[in-house]
Chains A and B, each alone.
Chain A
Amino acid sequence: MTLSAFAYQLLEIILGVITAPVLLGWVNQCRAWLQNRSAPSLWQPYRSLHKLFYKQAVLAENASPLFRVAPYVVFGTMVLVVAIVPSLETRLPFTVAADAIALVGLLATARVFLSLAAMDIGAAFGTLGARREMMIGFLAEPALLMVLFVAAMISQTTSLPLIAERLSSESLALYPSLAFTAVAFAMVLLAENARIPIDNPATHLELTMIHEATLLEYSARHLALMEWAASLKLYNYVCIGITLFLPFGVATQSQGTTGLALAIVALALKLLVAGSSLALFETVSAKLRIFRAPEFLATAFLLAVLGMLVHLLLGA
């Protein structure tokens, strides 16, 4: 590990943390365009964060220390995930420190803290939201693991940077098994990030909320951290998707600064495409009834299993 590796790592983290709200702004902008509305600015999420950071935080009287700590834990976990996912370069100090399974564990940690904090106040909506969040989580996790296993079997490793290197080094090798798992992963991404058709990020109806309901009791800087963490989660999922299915353009250690610059451009393009596809999908879909969510995620799991079978049987 050289000093430059640490500098690159730092750059990757800062870039991720800064880009995440912009990605959300881009998705919202595309959604607005697709609905024939005039779009909010790309920087709108930053304006909201700015507003929230300058407000006075209000806590419920019976809030425990957990409630105050949770935003920092959730945000910290998401920043750590940014460091682990090799979005720019493959051989960085953090990216090699944890493999895909540890990553799923980290995401689960964030969810646990989010849900515990939601139940902490004892208000009905928080509990309702936490319950739904856990339901979605325990259905989505196996599907996500399955997706990661397929990629791991193809590359013979569970380490994300090695998967990325392996897949990007082969010139345009097409894996049918990865096609199945890519669809499965997209479904998991929608469910995990509280997007339509599982949850509606734009809703004001407290009875239908999943993710938003867990945040109802938060205000000011705590809420800002939670919102930022949510946008980081979306960014992370998109980056994981890119690492698994479109790693082309990611820099390896040998490529130096030029490689890194190219990787940044490639990542920006991929995020643009991913964000607009997400907006398109959300615009043409309606929200599912909550009890259809198990079917939705079971389909994702099934597709991931199919991907694995295709790989095992056809070796492709």
Chain B
Amino acid sequence: MTKWLSRAVPVRGSPGTGELVVNSTSWIDVAHDVSSGGGQLASLWTTSGDESGNHANVRAVFLINASVLIVTLPIVDDSLSYRGLETLFPSAVRMQRAAFDLTGIRSDAPDQRPWLRHAAWPAHWHPLKFPAMRSEIAAKSIDNYEFVRVEGDGVHEIPVGPVHAGIIEPGHFRFSIVGEKVLRLEERLGYVHKGIEHRFTELHLFEAHRLAARICGDSAVAFSWAYCQAAEGLTNVRVPQRGLYLRALALELERLQNHLGDLGALGNDAGFAFGLAQFSRIKEHLLRVINGALGQRYLFDWIVPGGTARDIDAASSNDLIAFAHEVASEVRHLRQIYEEHSGLRDRFSGAGRVEVQLASQLGLTGLAGRASGQSLDLRVDRPWPPYDQLAVTKCVRQEGDVAARVALRFDEVQETCVLIAKILRELPWGPVRVETPLPNVPGFAVGLIEGWRGPVLIALQNGGEGKISRCHAHDPSWHNWPVLEHAIIDNIVPDFPLINKSFNLAYSGHDL
């Protein structure tokens, strides 16, 4: 493992990241060593070649303990194919399928069904390969997606979605069940594919953070920070300390908002509407306090290249500290109610269990991973500034069921409230933003941020003169959606919404 890491060339952006350019044999060797060394696949994507002689390539990002290794495999021949990593990292399957749909670069994996391509464009067209033909392509093809069928006595299928009874994002879930017991769940996503990666290439380097913030509404801060980290890496700008602290503040506030919302929704999905009412009240109060202190309810565009959009004054800062204490004590009280409620406890515990071993095999990551003993938290394990000065306490659970994911959220709410107060008390003086000069040469950089859901990654290829030639955005949901298919097995159908909610994975940030 160390031999690969030592040969890696440092990459700009996220500190401590290395890149290794390999040939097709060492591509598999590296993946093998990472897998046997306990590392995880963080992302995988492909880039088409261009007229100026750049080869098409496939890139994989591996997380090994605290280090990040980017492995680049240039595809020099005309085959436009590479060895798939799905046997080593199961979550690679969908990323490989999506990569083929976008660029036409194919893995040799047995599952070659389209992932992002539904009936909206024909099979021979690849949006990132021939973007110019976009307007000539009309929806013509018929979609005959082959779900895996379960045969047997009394087995039947329930197709759910993409249009649901409530107002939620679109996704199709195909259940094969016997009675109420789920034998198999197969997901089909990609209904909200918007062509974000192509849109990046039409934007200016220092404008696109606005698009990054809109990739996934509930992770706006995480994505825009990851983008800015990459963009600043290209220009060698040093963000002032105060700017960094205010970014961390925004990230923690986003975590808090999402956890509060989820805790309420989880109560509601178990039929306990009191929980939803209480958590919604606290969340709304929080949004109003944030609006008072930072000038916006949700923190879109708070993080800009070079720092943050605005500063915070001392009075608002004190308001936020006081409110963080209030939230912490109110949530402590509600936690007691949740934990002592026999009905809720019965619904939560044991439902949708992902054992530690399965979680590590399938590469469960982020919040859901930490509820199943996968103790990775980039804020602790690989702290980027200012988290290297904040000493975050990591919360991990081993049980891996809905109750564990609920408990972990409760733990993290407390930790986040402490962090918010700490950040504001230790807030350094100085400017919040510096000017960012344009990079004069093309380059490659990555941003890697622990969002509330898990590690969020942006890989940015600068084409010179402020142009973006390729930008890949990666949400942790890519790894966790497939695990959800395993979490539901042997549970009963009516428990699925609760289990799904406890993961709360992204649609928009995943489909791009």
Contacts and interface: CB of A to CB of B under 8 A. Distances in A.
Interface of A: 31, 34-37, 124-125, 128, 196-197, 200, 202-209, 216, 283-292
Contact of B343 (A209, A216, A285): A285
Given A124-B157, A289-B495, 18 more contacts: A35-B277, A128-B158, A196-B271, A197-B343, A206-B165, A207-B493, A208-B269, A208-B494, A283-B273, A284-B274, A286-B270, A286-B343, A287-B270, A287-B271, A288-B343, A288-B347, A289-B346, A291-B180
Interface of A is mostly: loop
Interface centre among B180, B267, B273 (most CB of A within 10 A): B273
18 contacts: A36-B278, A37-B277, A124-B157, A128-B158, A202-B273, A204-B166, A206-B164, A207-B493, A216-B165, A286-B341, A286-B343, A287-B271, A287-B347, A288-B346, A289-B346, A289-B492, A290-B180, A290-B494
B162 to A, nearest CB: 13
B271 A207 contact: no
A204 B278 CA distance: 19
Interface string B245-271: 000000000000000000000010111
Contacts of B495: 289
Given A36-B278, A125-B158, A204 B273 contact: no
Interface centre among B157, B277, B341 (most CB of A within 10 A): B277
Contacts of A124: 156-159
B165 A205 contact: yes
A35 B492 contact: no
B281 interface: yes
Contacts of A287: 270-272, 343, 347
B4 interface: no
A208 B157 contact: no
Contacts, number: 79
B497 interface: yes
B489 to A, nearest CB: 15
Query: Which 9 A/B pairs are nearest by Cβ-Cβ distance?
Result: A287-B271, A204-B166, A286-B343, A35-B277, A205-B497, A124-B158, A286-B272, A208-B494, A206-B165
Nearest to A204: B166
Nearest to A202: B273
A133 to B, nearest CB: 13
B160 interface: yes
Contacts of A35: 273-274, 276-277
Contact of B346 (A283, A284, A292): A292
Interface centre among B281, B346, B494 (most CB of A within 10 A): B494
Interface of B: 156-160, 164-167, 180, 267, 269-274, 276-278, 281, 341, 343-344, 346-347, 492-497
A207 B278 contact: no
Interface centre among B157, B164, B343 (most CB of A within 10 A): B343
Contact of B494 (A197, A207, A284, A285): A207
A128 B492 CA distance: 12
B269 to A, nearest CB: 7
A77 B128 CA distance: 62
Given A286-B343, A291-B180, A207 B160 contact: yes
A285 B346 CA distance: 12
Contacts of B276: 35
Contacts of A128: 158, 493
Contacts of A205: 165-166, 269, 497
Contacts of A288: 343, 346-347
A281 to B, nearest CB: 11
Contact of A291 (B164, B341, B492): B492
A286 B402 CA distance: 15
A72 B177 CA distance: 33
A200 B271 contact: yes
Contacts of B164: 204, 206
Contacts of A197: 271, 343
A206 B347 CA distance: 18
Contacts of B180: 290-291
A106 B347 CA distance: 34
